[in-house]
Amino acid sequence: EAGVTQFPSHSVIEKGQTVTLRCDPISGHDNLYWYRRVMGKEIKFLLHFVKESKQDESGMPNNRFLAERTGGTYSTLKVQPAELEDSGVYFCASSQEGSRFGELFFGEGSRLTVL
């Protein structure tokens, strides 16, 4: 069974440009999460989808970040316009409905470098 896949694995962009990160969760997983790790800091929650609906987006830094999950399958996270402080590793995770709290399956992350 395929795990959580993320694309691209690494993206380097200029400040002010736009980047879109994609996450394909494990098939059948209704819960999809985005987390971010900024250099030297802890991994932090960004938002949570249940199917196509946003359950909690309290961790989104500001309105330059837009997350979507079309049809309750894959998700995208767009950063527009990107700023230097957006650099970091963006992780996607998924879990089945009803799974034990915190038993998430993570992707390998998308590393974003903003120059």
* Contact residues: other proteins, CB under 8 A: 3-4, 31, 33, 35, 40-45, 48, 55-56, 59, 91, 100-109
**How many Å apart are CA 8 and CA 29, to the nearest integer?**
21
Cβ of residue 20: shortest distance to other proteins, in angstroms?
A: 20
Smallest CA-to-CA distance from 104 within 92, 88, 89, 113 is with 92
Residue 35: burial class (beta carbons within 10 Å; 0-12, 13-18, 19+): buried
Q: Which two tokens stand for residue 68?
A: 């979507």
Query: Which one, 78 or 111, has the nearer CB to other proteins?
Result: 111
Query: Which one, 3 or 16, has the nearer CB to other proteins?
Result: 3
Cβ of residue 100: shortest distance to other proteins, in angstroms?
A: 6
Query: Which one, 88 or 107, has the nearer CB to other proteins?
Result: 107
